[in-house]
């Protein structure tokens, strides 16, 4: 906690209790809850990984808060991101989803989600799970900045690991998986910890990563 009159580093804000957080989550309680309990914590569940990479694709050109506010709508529309079920979607499902006001009604992104579900099944056949594939791209400590200030964070729209994963996914037929989208996915799923220095969640995310065993082949 910080005293109400104590100035915070650039990129942080404090709530009424003085708890410091990354500024980007300031807008709503839902956003702050997402920041505190999900963003930056490691994930090995295939369904959550697939959901996030799809939603990052839908976010392209929009804010994450817009997507977060519609997340339950996306889950209902896309069979709670069960890749096997989505892979069976056809033209009628695309037309249904284009009319669904609970999601972002972008035909290309809807079709991409169905395509990527089919590609997930191919990755599972090769690697055992989407998680096994994804965690191969976790950066080493040497590839990460020693201190993450807001100034440093502004330079982190992509990384060598996100560029490599994006390139490989595209080669495998995925869409809406550019390096920036993949890096945002890596931030959210705990492959990197981009909570700023001084954010009260940063150390919690590190502890979660230390207790986490990546599903490596």
Least confident of 52-56, 81-85, 154-158: 154-158
Tokens at 59, concatenated: 């976010």
**Residue pointed to by tokens 């804000």:** 13
Q: Indicate left, alpha or beta for 197 from its phi (over 0: left) and psi (-120 to 50: alpha).
A: beta
Cα 144 → chain centroid: 18
Instruction: Grade residue 15 by pLDDT with cuts at 50, 70 and 90.
Output: confident
Confidence of residue 140 (pLDDT cuts 50, 70, 90): confident
Read off the pLDDT band of 3 (50, 70, 90). Answer: very low
* Residue 129 scores a pLDDT above 60: yes
69 pLDDT above the threshold of 80: yes
* Catalytically annotated residue among 39, 56, 135, 183: 56
> Is 56 labeled as catalytic in the residue annotation?
yes
Catalytic residue from among 31, 39, 51, 64? 64
pLDDT (0 to 100) of residue 18: 84
* Dihedral, CA of residue 207, residue 59, residue 75 and residue 131, to nearest 10: -40
Listed residue (216, 117, 124) closest to 173, CA to CA: 117
Exposed, middle or buried, 213 (CB in 10 Å: 0-12/13-18/19+)?
exposed
Concerning whether 64 is annotated as a catalytic residue, the answer is yes
Question: Does the model's pTM come out above 0.75?
Answer: yes
In our burial notation (b when 16+ CB lie closer than 10 A, e otherwise), range 68-103 reads bebbeebbebbbebebeebbebeeebeeebeebeeb
Contacts of 154 (CB under 8 A, 6+ apart): none
Q: Write the CB contacts of 128 (distance below 8 Å, at least 6 apart in sequence).
A: 215, 217
């Amino acid at each position: 906690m910080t005293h109400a009159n104590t100035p915070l580093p650039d990129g942080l804000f404090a709530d009424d209790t003085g708890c410091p957080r990354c500024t980007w989550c300031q807008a709503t309680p839902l956003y702050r809850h997402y920041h505190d309990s999900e963003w930056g914590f490691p994930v090995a569940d295939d369904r959550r990984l697939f959901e996030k990479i799809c939603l990052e694709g839908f976010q392209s050109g929009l804010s994450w808060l817009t997507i977060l506010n519609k997340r339950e709508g996306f889950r209902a529309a896309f069979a709670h991101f069960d890749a096997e079920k989505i892979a069976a979607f056809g033209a009628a499902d695309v037309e249904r989803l284009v009319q669904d006001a609970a999601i972002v009604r972008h035909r290309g992104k809807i079709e991409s989600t169905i395509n990527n579900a089919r590609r997930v099944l191919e990755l599972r056949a090769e690697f055992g799970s989407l998680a096994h594939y994804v965690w191969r791209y976790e950066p080493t400590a040497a590839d990460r900045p020693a201190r993450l200030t807001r100034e440093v964070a502004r330079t982190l729209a992509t990384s060598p690991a996100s560029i490599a994963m994006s390139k490989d996914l595209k080669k495998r037929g995925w869409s809406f998986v550019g390096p920036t989208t993949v890096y945002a996915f890596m931030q959210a799923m705990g492959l990197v910890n981009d909570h700023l220095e001084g954010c009260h969640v940063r150390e919690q995310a590190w502890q979660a990563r230390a207790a986490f065993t990546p599903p490596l082949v």
